[in-house]
């Protein structure tokens, strides 16, 4: 069996790109015809590295998969695997199910990697669809233990919960963002039309504008006169910052700064604990050794200091420490979670107690997020109200001063 990269046209005239697995070129072309596609080009991949490079070039031309589509894909995998289909059959079904094109193309690429001898988790990682490291680690553990259906079900539920949280945050931001845009537009209009006329009138009278009006007019003029330079500077700063954060030292400095922030640091620790414990729970409940679970969970951590501590915990497990003892020095693991894991070791229900620890941390994280979301809208509205008040004062104070001179 070989992997073929193709470019074809459907019955509706749309151009379609992807990969297909077949023994010969004619068999690949026939399979494409059966799918209702007219082949334009069909190129055999010489080896897996070549296939990966070609797939990467094809993926570069398409939009990356969104978090919502990743949740849909994982739910489809969970349902079909639970129905008794093999992984290859599941991917083939998804590829031809009429799902969004990004999901279908990714399913084809993963199936091609699977038939070429790779694992499902490895093919999904190669597809570079944006699945987080903990999901890849959990899927690899599920494959090795034969519990891939259970793992995909867990991940699907986890992704869907995250999807609902993102939707709630977006809904909370829609109204304040709309009001802020309208207020900013009105402010710019007033400062570019009404304020200059008032300034000219004050100049003819030999009087100075109120300080608040002068400051806002100066700021507005600066933004309009230097808009191009400011835009280029902002883009350059973002590019340089992204490049700098790829280096270890700037990334450590940035992580340390974020960890010192009161609210941000707390959320970073809670998110790291949730991902770490969730991966550990999935691996242990997949009947894998604790050492493998701890080693796999290291890969989900993005903070260098957290990874170093987690690697030390993995070393401690190899040297004979219990899981609760190894996790105690980790700065992001809550003490209550460590106590639950210790109780699980004593009672012989380690996997279940690790899962409860993960659920506890995830619940705390979700509740904290909900509290922030509940406070976000009123705080933003207050900020917008202050901005509108400043703009109104900047426009009305000069008018009131003139009225006081005209009508003493």
Tokens of residue 33, six digits:
């015809």
Residue for token pair 């493998």 = 292
Cα–Cα distance, 200 to 340 (Å, whole number)? 73
Cα–Cα distance, 240 to 248 (Å, whole number)? 15
pTM above threshold 0.75? no
Which of 221, 183, 226 minimizes the C-alpha distance to 199? 221
Residue 38 forms beta bridges with which residues? 9
Within 10 angstroms of residue 268's Cβ, the number of other Cβ atoms is: 18
pLDDT at 22: 64
Name the pairing type of β-strands 15-22 and 2-9.
Answer: antiparallel
pLDDT at 57: 43
Cα–Cα distance, 281 to 359 (Å, whole number)? 10
Q: What DSSP string describes 232-270?
A: HHHHHHHHHHHHHTTSHHHHHHHHHHHHHSHHHHHHHHH
Give the residue ranges of DSSP H helices in 146-289: 148-204, 211-225, 227-244, 248-260, 262-285
pLDDT at 149: 85
- 394 burial type by CB count under 10 A (0-12 exposed, 13-18 middle, 19+ buried): buried
Cα–Cα distance, 4 to 20 (Å, whole number)? 5
Q: Which residues of the chain are modeled with pLDDT < 50?
A: 1, 47-63
Name the pairing type of β-strands 15-22 and 38-44.
Answer: unpaired
Tokens of residue 341, six digits:
């894991």
Which of 71, 132, 134 minimizes the C-alpha distance to 103? 71
pLDDT at 233: 92
């Amino acid at each position: 069996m070989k992997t073929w990269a193709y470019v074809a046209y459907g019955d509706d005239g749309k151009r379609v790109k992807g990969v297909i697995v077949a023994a010969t070129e004619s068999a690949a072309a026939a399979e494409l015809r059966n799918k209702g596609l007219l082949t334009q080009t069909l190129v055999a991949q010489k080896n897996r590295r070549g296939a990966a490079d070609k797939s990467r070039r094809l993926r570069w031309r398409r939009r990356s998969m969104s978090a919502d589509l990743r949740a849909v894909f994982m739910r489809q995998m969970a349902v079909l695997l639970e129905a008794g289909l093999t992984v290859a059959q599941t991917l083939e079904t998804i590829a031809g199910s009429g799902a969004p094109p990004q999901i279908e193309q990714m399913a084809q690429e993963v199936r091609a990697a699977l038939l070429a001898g790779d694992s499902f988790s490895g093919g999904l990682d190669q597809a570079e669809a944006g699945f987080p490291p903990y999901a890849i680690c959990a899927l690899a553990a599920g494959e090795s233990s034969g519990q891939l259906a259970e793992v995909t079900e867990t991940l699907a539920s986890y992704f869907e919960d995250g999807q609902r949280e993102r939707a709630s945050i977006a809904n909370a931001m829609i109204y304040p963002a709309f009001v802020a845009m309208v207020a900013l537009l009105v402010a710019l209009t007033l400062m570019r039309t009404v304020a200059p006329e008032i300034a000219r009138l004050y100049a003819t009278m030999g009087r100075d504008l109120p300080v608040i009006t002068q400051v806002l007019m100066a700021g507005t003029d600066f933004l309009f006169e230097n808009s191009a330079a400011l835009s280029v500077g902002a883009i350059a700063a973002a590019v340089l910052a992204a490049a700098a954060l790829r280096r270890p030292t700037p990334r450590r400095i940035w992580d340390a700064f974020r960890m010192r922030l009161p609210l941000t640091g707390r959320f970073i620790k809670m998110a790291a604990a949730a991902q770490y414990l969730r991966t550990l729970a999935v691996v242990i409940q997949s009947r894998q050794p604790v050492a493998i679970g701890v080693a796999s969970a290291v890969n989900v951590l993005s903070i260098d200091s957290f990874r170093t501590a987690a690697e030390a915990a993995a070393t401690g497990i190899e040297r004979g420490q219990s899981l609760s003892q190894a996790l105690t020095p980790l700065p992001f693991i809550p003490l209550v979670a460590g106590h639950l894991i210790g109780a699980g070791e004593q009672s012989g229900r380690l996997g279940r107690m690790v899962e409860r620890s993960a659920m506890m941390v995830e619940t705390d994280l979700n509740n904290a997020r909900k509290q922030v979301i509940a406070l976000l809208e009123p705080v933003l509205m207050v900020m917008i109200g202050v901005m509108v008040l400043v703009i109104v004062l900047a426009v009305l104070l000069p008018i009131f001063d003139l009225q006081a001179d005209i009508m003493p």
